[in-house]
A and B are shown apart, each in its own frame.
Chain A
């Protein structure tokens, strides 16, 4: 455009030659023209006017609609506008005339159309080289013309057509010019940027307003010289005006609502003009077969496939997807609706292929229509092959970053999912979304489509859609070639080590074992399983990853259960595989569905270490044996198995498992926190010291039973009022009064129980007893299911102590009761066990005698709780009327140091440790105490020799009675699997209480490895002593060496151990008999002289050749040889070969157990 013309703007350059015949200077093509042309055909001016009037009316309406924009105009310029319109109308007439002229003189007009421009362009070159664009255009156009074979023909045809339709002529003229020739030049109008106030789609309205404003003023005295106005959707908040001066822009935007006028008008640099119009909204380019995701509704996020784009111009695309039809039975849905849960709020129905039968069942036959093509119509949607095929608006689908997974695609590719083979074409389609973001310089790629198909190379540079590849091989080897990024895929070789970048296997590494198109199969480094991934999702990796995925159901170091008794800790999470270390130290790989997660007990789990200290999760512990590994406790299972973690260890990622009892705290604990102290019941007893744990029973527990009892206040201000106990606080009760619903705190002594039916009142406590004292055992269990009978006894001494505990126990069908009964009858619990052999508890006892005993012993040694429990058991006996006060005092309290406080070394070893025997004694005492009650006989211990009690039996009895005690202990044995059975006796009556490896019995306790001296005895039954000889053998012999041990006498009423085991295992020389007692002199210390009952004495077996022995055996063929004296020659497998005696016909071979060394000949 020429500068001259620009300065005289409103004048259209091409109208120069028509100026004479037109009163107005304007001749511009207008949208409204067709209307007018139609009218012009009629050539009726009046009608034309009418029409114009109508238009005007329309305009007014429009203006009303758009008051925002044009209010000011309406107000200020109304009259003026009317005038203008009038004028316009006249002008329309002229335009109409012109249209007629067009029709009449098509060719000329066309020539003129071109000619105008041509003239204009002809002028242009004179004005400067900047107009060269126009030359090009003209050249192109003239080429086009020359090439036209028969212009006249076409013109003729056009003429005819125009005469017929009067349709707008198509002018494809400018389309031929390449766009690069259309770049703006210095003579072109400038673009001005104007900001809008609102950024939410008002731009279009503002553009239209400016358009209207400019349009309406174009014939005024001051036309606004704005050439065009536009905005881009992607550049919200601004519009652009094309004008030669900023003054025109200011005039155009002046008064337009929504313009951010104060931000001013800024010029767009010439080089930015084209990009403004070039900006492309990320192209939606939907192609049938491509994958998309849905954005809204219940299908939000679901994968879908484009099936047709026929109606793309209507903004609609046909897709298919797997439907989510709510197949909830109708009744249930009604229910839900009734519950206030609308269907809308309900969760998404699962996505599954349409099944006619299923839908018909739920929605009824009439709801589904079948079409001829075998598709179904349901709820206005069409279903083909199970998929829903639907036309949706483009706005509700997402075509970028779809990233369909293999699983999703495979669901599309086949009805039968199990056998669904990956449709390679589908996968290729999925990979069309390969964006440059997954390509990095250096990646090996392969071009799989386009001209360069088959080209290999490494990526050099990556730009938005094009990547440069340095080709490898072929003609172009070494050259850098640009290819569209979408037509390449990453290339891998079998054997390459790669890392997965995305998808559910993200971060996994592995070796490529197979490549099939876009699908690469890896052998994972972690789980050693095959993983199929898209090649776009992997890249070459040098390292194996050690990262574990977080956020799954199972995290590192979670405690999981492999089965009901086996716990394990997750040592590594490898994608879908868990690497676990179980409690037995075995590491294995499991899938998450093979394990169950264990309730997180990290905050509560406590275990006792080898020193009796408690340990918790997070403590630093060290093994006392084995490898002396050290680590931080990460989990404790059943207080026995402690899982530790030490990152320095390599095995199992630093996780190892240890027994609680073999651990010791790394940091010495300043205050030894005894588990026993954590037991409130035990705390009450501790002041009484060690064995004589006989405190007044804590009653507060049972007092809770008073809650909800109806009471009447008998003292104080509320006297006479009825109420219900709501809470017990020490000696007070919170009583909710019936009268005014108030809750008062009233001393228990001021309350009396009121019988609801009779209205009679009873003392609170007595009444309370009556409610639960009936079965104290049961009551006890309620309070503490593990505490067993002894605890019950301890807690309720008065209530039933005077009566017959034996009977009471007899009432309760519970093994302890049986045990107690046995104890009651036969003071020797060991014998009781043996005697009970034939009866039900027998297996338990028997087994107890064999293996579990050490377990108990060991556990007992270390578990104060156990001892505490044991200590408690005598309580009822004592309270039992004080019949045996002396017993407790002397036997338990007095003589023995507090065994419970003393840490029992795990080294109890073969011989029962003193501690062990103390526990035995404690337990023993507990046992007889039950026995005492029913018999109401003076106890054997009470009077005579408390010392005697302590001698023998280390383990077996403790097994009997200490069995309950672990239950009483706070935690160590509270492991539910064993003891949670309703009847605590359960485990005991079970064949072996130490069932399964995990239970305490299996633990390597001090006694575990050692042969139990009584093991044989238990199996032998009651007649013979456990050693296979009669318990009173010693009465028949003199001057032999004896060993002190537990009582061998069946059904003995004596304590199991002589002097609670003081001399156990020691050798004595036995010279004379003193009544029933044997006069023994210690071999170690001749000053120690004791009179020991024969039942505690065992023959001292020969231990080396050349010893004088006497046969004391009573078993087998050696019956007749009893009393024979020989000298041992050599030992073989428990039998001794004797030196030949002249009497002998042959060398005698005796069992070692039948022999006793001779002290003095």
Chain B
């Protein structure tokens, strides 16, 4: 089940790459459902701290990512269903960006306005 919002919101962290919202513990035990491949946060609290952020704005409960314009706009249409932030403040460590670019991807900061 998705994590709950409300009072527990403060405990949630947002992935700096895909903006998925999870508790610190989830990140620690399961990693990011979308980006674990490059972030490799599982088991490393330090890595969780630098690759996720508590400063985020808005929340999206994404039920059908592939069908969703919201998901497309947020570039999470290829991600897992789940809860995402609209905006996440912070930048991942350089190695993450490098890893993304090495895969031919583009790192798009989650806290910037495009265009």
Q: List residues of chain A with CB under 8 Å of any chain B CB.
A: 1, 12-14, 28-35, 58-59, 62, 65-66, 113, 117, 144-145, 147-148, 154, 158, 161-162, 165, 167-180, 182, 184-185, 188-189, 191, 201-208, 210-212, 214-215, 218, 226-234, 242, 273-274, 277-278, 280-281, 283-284, 311-315, 394
Interface flags for B100-115 (1: CB within 8 Å of A; 0: not) read: 1001111110010111
Closest to A166 in B: B36
Contacts of B1 on A, CB cut-off 8 Å?
32, 58-59, 62, 212, 215
Could you say which residues of chain B place their CB within 8 Å of the CB of A168? Answer: 31-37, 80
Measured between beta carbons, the chain A residues less than 8 angstroms from B71 are 227-228
Q: Is the CB of A170 within 8 A of B35?
A: yes
Judging by beta carbons under 8 Å apart, are A204 and B115 in contact? no
| List of B residues within 8 angstroms of A230 by Cβ | 58-61, 70, 86
Closest A residue to B92 by beta carbon equals: A313
Taking a contact as CB atoms closer than 8 A, the residue among B69, B76, B114 that contacts A178 in the complex is: B114
Q: Which 4 pairs, one residue from A and one from B, show the smallest C-beta to C-beta distance?
A: A172-B105, A204-B5, A205-B6, A211-B61
Query: Which residues 73-115 of B have a CB within 8 angstroms of A?
Result: 73-83, 86-87, 89-90, 99-100, 103-108, 111, 113-115
Q: How far is the CA of A145 from the CA of B3 in the complex (A)?
A: 36
**Residue of B with least CB distance to A174:** B75
* Interfacial chain A residues near B4, Cβ < 8 Å: 62, 65-66, 205, 208
Report the Cα distance A908→B104, complex, angstroms. 110
Residues of B within 8 A of A231 (CB): 58-59
Cβ–Cβ contact B87 & A175, under 8 A: no
A174 to B106, alpha carbons, bound, how many Å? 9
* Contact between chains at B73 and A182 (CB < 8 Å): yes
Q: How far apart are A582's CB and chain B's nearest CB, in angstroms?
A: 62
Complex Cα spacing A233 to B9, Å: 12
CB pairs A–B below 8 angstroms (26 shown) = A29-B81, A31-B22, A58-B1, A62-B1, A165-B40, A167-B37, A168-B31, A168-B35, A179-B73, A210-B61, A211-B63, A218-B63, A227-B71, A228-B60, A230-B59, A230-B70, A232-B86, A233-B57, A277-B58, A277-B73, A277-B74, A312-B55, A313-B54, A314-B53, A315-B54, A394-B55
In contact, A314 and B57 (Cβ under 8 angstroms): no
**In the assembly, what is the distance between CA of A1112 and CA of B2, in Å?**
130
Chain B minimum-CB-distance residue to A151: B104
Residue of A nearest to B67 (CB): A227
Smallest CB gap from A141: residue in B: B104
CA distance A171 to B80 in the complex (A): 10
**CA of A30 to CA of B90, assembled, Å:** 25
Residues of A within 8 A of B7 (CB): 205
Contact A173 B67 (CB under 8 A): no
Q: Contacts A30-B81, A202-B6, A215-B2 hold; do A14 and B66 have CB atoms under 8 A apart? A: yes
Q: Which of A65, A144, A171 has the most CB of B within 10 A?
A: A171
Say which residue of B54, B74, B83, B108 sits within 8 Å of A208 (CB atoms).
B83
**Contact A277–B86 (Cβ < 8 Å):** yes
Q: Give Cα A312 to B109, complex, Å.
A: 14
Contact assessment for A35 and B86 in the assembled complex, using a CB-CB cutoff below 8 Å = no
B44 within 8 A of A: no
Min distance, Cβ B49 to any Cβ of chain A, angstroms: 6
CB within 8 Å of A: which B1-41 residues:
1-7, 9, 16-17, 20, 22, 30-38, 40
Binding site for A on B (CB under 8 A): 1-7, 9, 16-17, 20, 22, 30-38, 40, 42, 49-55, 57-83, 86-87, 89-90, 99-100, 103-108, 111, 113-115
If A201-B6, A207-B61 touch, whether A171 touches B30 (CB-CB below 8 Å) is: no
Residue of B nearest to A395 (CB): B55
Contact pick for A167, options B5, B36, B103, B106, CB 8 Å: B36
Contacts of B100 in A (CB 8 A): 170, 172, 175
Q: Contacts A154-B103, A171-B34, A208-B2 given: A314-B54 contact, CB under 8 Å?
A: yes
User: What distance in Å separates the Cβ of B110 from its nearest Cβ neighbour in chain A?
Assistant: 11
Kindly list chain A residues whose C-beta atoms are within 8 Å of the C-beta of B72.
Answer: 174, 182, 188
Q: Of A173, A189, A234, which one neighbours B78 at CB under 8 angstroms?
A: A173
Q: What's the nearest-Cβ distance from chain A to residue B112, in Å?
A: 9
Would B104 and A147 count as touching, CB distance under 8 A? yes
On chain B, the residues within 8 Å of A12 by CB distance are: 66
Chain B: minimal CB distance from A139 (Å): 15
Residues of B within 8 A of A312 (CB): 53, 55, 89-90
Partner of A232, one of B57, B73, B74, B106: B57
Cβ-defined contact, B57 with A35, below 8 A: no
Residues of A within 8 A of B74 (CB): 277
Residues of A within 8 A of B75 (CB): 174-175, 177, 182
Contacts A28-B64, A32-B1, A312-B89: A172 and B103 contacting too (C-beta < 8 A)? yes
Q: Which residues of A contact B35 (CB under 8 A)?
A: 168, 170
Contact B69 A188 (CB under 8 A): yes
Chain A residue, CB-CB nearest to B73: A182
Nearest neighbor of B103 in chain A, beta-carbon distance? A172
A204 x B59 contact (CB < 8 A): yes
- Asked, given contacts A167-B36, A168-B80, A205-B5, whether A34 binds B61 with beta carbons under 8 Å apart, the answer is no
Q: Please indicate the chain A residues that have their CB under 8 angstroms from the CB of B103 in the complex.
A: 154, 170, 172
Q: A182-B69, A207-B5, A315-B54 are in contact. List 13 more A-B contacts (CB 8 A).
A: A12-B66, A31-B20, A35-B30, A58-B1, A170-B103, A184-B69, A227-B68, A230-B59, A234-B57, A242-B70, A277-B70, A313-B53, A313-B90
Chain B's closest residue to A38 (CB) is B30
Bound: A362/B113 CA distance, A: 52
Once bound together, how far apart are the Cα atoms of A261 and B23, in whole Å? 31
